[in-house]
Structure 1
């Protein structure tokens, strides 16, 4: 099947987003194979080298020959931001298009998706003194104190930022202190780095019971694949515990287990619970993104690919639900 490359004379990019464990990667690969596409990852942890199991990176054998971009591109000691991602992803999208292929953005990192498709404001520079003061408040009074302060000035950002994401909570407060305007307002004034592209976006949403079963199965598979050994090896190689990947979901709980804070069974149960909380936050985020079509079956389901293909015949993407039968 030939890929619909243009939409009203604009090049097209397709996006497959949604909650964790919903089958996004499988659908992205299937779509790429059908339409002659390449995948651009939209995952804030997949960019780091050496972290494969806890991030659930699709192994090369399951990529089925489809090129994947922005996977394993930086060292775990490096800083990687949504702005840096948007620049790199836009470059990848344009390169794929120039070669006559279809760029397919796949992942569940809402901020990265927004940065690419809607843009991020340039923002004020870092104020290390202010950041230090806010970090001390977090240590003395807890992150919930920062979150409450953010909720008073920018409730939308407070809702979308993970409660334990100290870095982003501090950045949101920093931006308000330095500019007098909340992040939400800045986002509304920005321009997408893909403004000249037609973005056809699809989001997978499953019933919560299905998500729970899939998350439980994924966590069991991660432990069976050597998740604990992956973290031990990273620490043995000298990676500090505060390296960015180790502070994320799954790895943070494993670090706590290795410190002796809880046994393995309790750690598995905690990772499942945290994944389900994260899945809910992802859906809250993507419901606020414009022009997404919702697919209500897993990405591996036989109806998922036809649903996307059928929608791509539209001239322009519109808000709709895609509910395959």
Structure 2
């Protein structure tokens, strides 16, 4: 066991056994203290940031060490059967740590940020009630904001307006909706992919019906866990380091059977236009299976699209308040030790009023 520097009242150590790195916390202070802030508020520890930065590894290590449970913050991980392209941690590799908000709906179901905020808040409170530490992890910025800062209920959907916007998408391309949204709500356009018709239509619908953008509405909302101290660590890497990790992960996804997973889902009756198939990785892989491009071109395209997505995620999270940034991957020893130090410092300090 190689000792790491002290992390305040919580000291970290490295377990050198294969598959068990960074899994122990060495301190007599490991009681209920890390579950609440100095002024008595329950704590939610969150690990966020762009794709392929090692968030899941760090969160799992922390949860195992601190007696925590994982609450996913990923808009694709909620769908059953979509495992490889969403990089879900296999059950066999979760080290006995409970995971929540993963595999909760069928691929044909509609799952919204509003529903996520309700169910994630319920999961967080249930974890705390079990005297365990909730550890939020993921890169879906809208879900993170919905949970930690609130999500306005919004106007009722207008079928006629939605149909009109969908006709615009068919005539001029979905990207035209994205350009339209960008002119009026740059923040929302920055987080919504240019071909995500459903979310683009909703963002435009809200603006057209209320005269206010989604971004403006979000600013007036209140979190369902407003009584919590949310301690958020955000990971980011250099462009070169991130690209290397993305390319490696895409290769791993194909080696793990991404294409077989898709064909199995089709054989089970999941329609090709189901929501998860339109997301990153799956959309490009489906196009390959339909003969649009060969496998190597598809891998390269997925890497490029992941890079673009990572830039959008970084832009989003940079605008979130009170994040503690670490410029290193989550699977490095020092990232773990630094996170423990940040947790202890934040736990003992008053929270900013703009959370």
Show the counterpart of 2:312: 281
Of residues 242, 261, 264, the one that matches 2:295 is 264
Are 2:207 and 1:176 aligned? yes
8 A contact 1:147–1:169 mirrored in 2? yes
Within 1, Cα distance between the matches of 2:138 and 2:324?
15
Q: Please give the secondary structure, in 2, of the residue aligned with 1:203.
A: strand
Show the counterpart of 1:113: 144
Uncovered stretches (5+) of structure 2, i.e. residues with no partner: 1-26
Show the counterpart of 2:263: 232
Uncovered stretches (5+) of structure 1, i.e. residues with no partner: 320-325
Within 1, Cα distance between the matches of 2:349 and 2:209?
39
Q: C-alpha displacement at 1:4, in angstroms? A: 1.2
Are 2:253 and 1:253 aligned? no
Are 2:325 and 1:294 aligned? yes
Within 2, Cα distance between the matches of 1:285 and 1:120?
16
Spell out the pairing of 1:139-150 with structure 2 (5 A cutoff): 139-150=170-181
Of residues 241, 245, 250, the one that matches 1:210 is 241
Of residues 35, 55, 75, the one that matches 2:106 is 75
Provide the alpha-carbon RMSD of the alignment.
1.2
Are 2:36 and 1:6 aligned? yes
Within 1, Cα distance between the matches of 2:351 and 2:292?
48
Q: Please give the secondary structure, in 2, of the residue aligned with 1:103.
A: strand
8 A contact 1:200–1:317 mirrored in 2? no
Q: Please give the secondary structure, in 2, of the residue aligned with 1:39.
A: strand
Are 2:159 and 1:128 aligned? yes
Q: Please give the secondary structure, in 1, of the residue aligned with 2:328.
A: coil
Q: C-alpha displacement at 1:144, in angstroms? A: 2.5
Q: C-alpha displacement at 1:49, in angstroms? A: 0.7
TM-score by length of 2: 0.88
Within 2, Cα distance between the matches of 1:151 and 1:222?
33
Q: Please give the secondary structure, in 1, of the residue aligned with 2:34.
A: coil
8 A contact 2:49–2:236 mirrored in 1? yes
Within 2, Cα distance between the matches of 1:156 and 1:56?
27
TM-score by length of 1: 0.96
Of residues 62, 73, 78, the one that matches 1:31 is 62
Q: Please give the secondary structure, in 2, of the residue aligned with 1:72.
A: coil
Q: Structure 1 177/36 Cα, relative in aligned 2: closer, same or farther at 3 Å?
A: same
8 A contact 2:287–2:293 mirrored in 1? yes
8 A contact 1:293–1:318 mirrored in 2? no
Question: Between Structure 1 and Structure 2, whose CA radius of gyration is higher?
Answer: 2
Are 2:334 and 1:303 aligned? yes
Are 2:340 and 1:313 aligned? no
Deviations 1:233-284 (A, max 9, x none): 1112211111011110000011111111111111111111111111111111
Of residues 63, 67, 78, the one that matches 1:47 is 78
Deviations 1:186-230 (A, max 9, x none): 000000111000000000001111110011010001101110000
Within 2, Cα distance between the matches of 1:311 and 1:99?
24
Show the counterpart of 1:99: 130
- Equivalent residue pairs, number: 319
Deviations 1:146-196 (A, max 9, x none): 122212221221222211111111111000111111111100000011100
8 A contact 2:229–2:351 mirrored in 1? no
Within 2, Cα distance between the matches of 1:284 and 1:164?
18
Within 2, Cα distance between the matches of 1:293 and 1:157?
23
Q: C-alpha displacement at 1:317, in angstroms? A: 7.1
Q: C-alpha displacement at 1:50, in angstroms? A: 0.6
